[in-house]
A = this chain, B = another copy of it.
Amino acid sequence: MNDKLFALKGAIIHTPDPKRFTIVDDGYLVCQNGLVQGVYEKLPGEFKDIPVRDYTGKLIIPGMADMHIHAPQYGFRGLGMDLDLDSVWNTWFETYSLPEESHYADLEYADMAYDKFVGDLLKTTTTRLCIFGTIHRPATELLMDKLAEKGFAAYVGKLNMDRNSIEGLQETTEESLSETRKWLEETVNRHPYVKPMVTPRYTPSCTDTCMEGLQKLVEEFNVPVQSHLSEGLDEIEWVKELKPEIEFYGQAYDMYGMLGGGVPTVMAHCVYPTDAEFEMMSRRKNLWVAHCPQSNLHSSGSGAPIRRYLEAGVHVGLGCDMAGANTLNLFRAIADATTASKVYWAANERKGDPFAKKTYLSLSEAFYIATKGGSSFWGKAGSFEEGSLFDAVVIDDSSLADFNQRSVRQRLERVVQQSDDRHVAAKFINGRQVL
């Protein structure tokens, strides 16, 4: 297929606006030079001779952005979900996360495991990602190469951990910074769509000296940043102990320019902001919250104040947070986002009133977060508006049908609730077909 100019034909559904779905029941999505040229009910005359890939009867949706995912944790997916996840030094982290990440010092293990990870990722709706690797530079570079080879658009982080880790998985401050520099030099221009992202794991795992060094590297290489923020109540207590001079957790990043005040920044979780933290976040225009609903429910039984973030103008994307969650499938994360918003509402806003106003997320809002909300980290992307990066996924939902006629919106709703890798029929990233 000519990948400069072509069209996909099918049932097109997307969310330029979080409040509603925009739907063409049977239409054409035109790609020109890797961007969306337009959506049409009938193909305009000027395009009458372009190649058309016929997906009539299937759903065509925007690709999704996974804004928080630990690639090396894919090896223990689905394990430890009933252990304590919300302790910063806890059985889950201790039993699974750190030991598994240690394996990635071995490049042969990394090769095998990242092959499986990237291969399985290909069969999902995910087109763009912000990924946590491990502290290991070579393994992280290998992961980046594999993602590039399959056509993904991704930011990937070699982690920094110069305190509070386990033996064999902890760097000296010097190592941490010198390896990060070397990694940035090697990868910043290596691939067109797979780029490095500075990744202090979280405040308890990075000394102040490390954070200062990273701040300089961020400025020198002009790369984005990602980390974890206010995920658990006892993590927040620990940060208070580690940095008694700050008023709230977010300051531990902001003081190094890493809360979206400078370079674009993704903060995962953000479940328990104080009022002051929330207020600062709402002023940081280069900040994206990576909402990880399943992981938050697993770790502490809580939802995050997502509607409040959205109303305050904070960018919100969705993360699967493998392996705090059990699947790479962001449809599940969309379903969980609506569920988690009900949990937040019931615990924080309903207060036992049987007739309390419902403030939870609608399906279109959750879908928006998964697509345009996260993809906006890459600019105009995540919907089929003219000029958007052309990320599209074709869903074959024929096996999910029942005996009633269903609208395109209902079919999408059911796909969100019920689909798996069997239903992803094709995938395009930046106009290139990757599946």
A interface with B by C-beta (< 8 Å): 74-82, 84, 100, 109, 112-113, 116, 232-234, 236-237, 297-298, 300-303, 326-327, 335, 338-339, 341-347, 350, 352-355, 358, 360-363, 366, 400, 402-404, 406, 410, 413-414, 416-418, 420
- Residue contact B82 to A354, C-beta cutoff 8 Å: no
- Residue contact A77 to B300, C-beta cutoff 8 Å: no
- Residue contact B417 to A109, C-beta cutoff 8 Å: no
- Residue contact B81 to A413, C-beta cutoff 8 Å: yes
Complex partner residue of A301 from B77, B113, B347, CB under 8 angstroms: B347
Q: A-B pairs with the 10 shortest C-beta distances?
A: A301-B342, A301-B346, A78-B417, A233-B354, A78-B414, A326-B417, A347-B347, A234-B354, A301-B343, A82-B363
A76: B residues at CB distance < 8 A = 402, 404
Q: If A77-B414, A79-B414, A233-B352 touch, does A339 touch B404 (CB 8 Å cutoff)?
A: no
**For the complex, what is the distance from the CA of A121 to the CA of B234, rounded to whole Å?**
43
CB distance from A157 to the nearest CB of B (A): 22
Q: If A77-B402, A402-B76, A420-B420 touch, does A335 touch B342 (CB 8 Å cutoff)?
A: no
CB distance from A298 to the nearest CB of B (A): 6
Q: If A82-B361, A339-B298, A354-B236 touch, does A326 touch B403 (CB 8 Å cutoff)?
A: no
**For the complex, what is the distance from the CA of A17 to the CA of B355, rounded to whole Å?**
41
**For the complex, what is the distance from the CA of A360 to the CA of B341, rounded to whole Å?**
20
Q: If A297-B339, A342-B298, A347-B347 touch, does A113 touch B413 (CB 8 Å cutoff)?
A: no
A413: B residues at CB distance < 8 A = 78-82
Residue of B nearest to A327 (CB): B418
Most chain-B Cβ atoms within 10 A of its Cβ — which of A100, A112, A335?
A: A335
A414: B residues at CB distance < 8 A = 77-79
**For the complex, what is the distance from the CA of A199 to the CA of B173, rounded to whole Å?**
67
- Residue contact A303 to B301, C-beta cutoff 8 Å: yes
Residue of B nearest to A88 (CB): B354
A355: B residues at CB distance < 8 A = 234, 237
Residue of B nearest to A342 (CB): B301
**For the complex, what is the distance from the CA of A236 to the CA of B352, rounded to whole Å?**
12
16 contacts between A and B (CB under 8 A): A75-B402, A77-B414, A78-B414, A78-B418, A82-B360, A82-B366, A112-B403, A116-B403, A234-B354, A297-B342, A301-B346, A326-B335, A326-B417, A327-B418, A343-B347, A347-B347
CB distance from A320 to the nearest CB of B (A): 13
Q: If A303-B301, A347-B347 touch, does A81 touch B335 (CB 8 Å cutoff)?
A: yes
- Residue contact B234 to A326, C-beta cutoff 8 Å: no
**For the complex, what is the distance from the CA of A234 to the CA of B352, rounded to whole Å?**
10
A232: B residues at CB distance < 8 A = 354
CB distance from A400 to the nearest CB of B (A): 7
A402: B residues at CB distance < 8 A = 74-77, 113, 116
CB distance from A104 to the nearest CB of B (A): 11
A109: B residues at CB distance < 8 A = 403
Q: If A233-B354, A234-B355, A418-B327 touch, does A338 touch B82 (CB 8 Å cutoff)?
A: yes
- Residue contact B300 to A342, C-beta cutoff 8 Å: yes
**For the complex, what is the distance from the CA of A232 to the CA of B355, rounded to whole Å?**
11
- Residue contact B82 to A362, C-beta cutoff 8 Å: yes
- Residue contact A326 to B77, C-beta cutoff 8 Å: no
**For the complex, what is the distance from the CA of A345 to the CA of B297, rounded to whole Å?**
11
**For the complex, what is the distance from the CA of A185 to the CA of B360, rounded to whole Å?**
47
**For the complex, what is the distance from the CA of A355 to the CA of B162, rounded to whole Å?**
26
Residue of B nearest to A80 (CB): B413
Q: If A300-B346, A326-B418, A418-B326 touch, does A81 touch B112 (CB 8 Å cutoff)?
A: no
- Residue contact B344 to A301, C-beta cutoff 8 Å: yes
A236: B residues at CB distance < 8 A = 354
- Residue contact A237 to B301, C-beta cutoff 8 Å: no
**For the complex, what is the distance from the CA of A410 to the CA of B302, rounded to whole Å?**
25
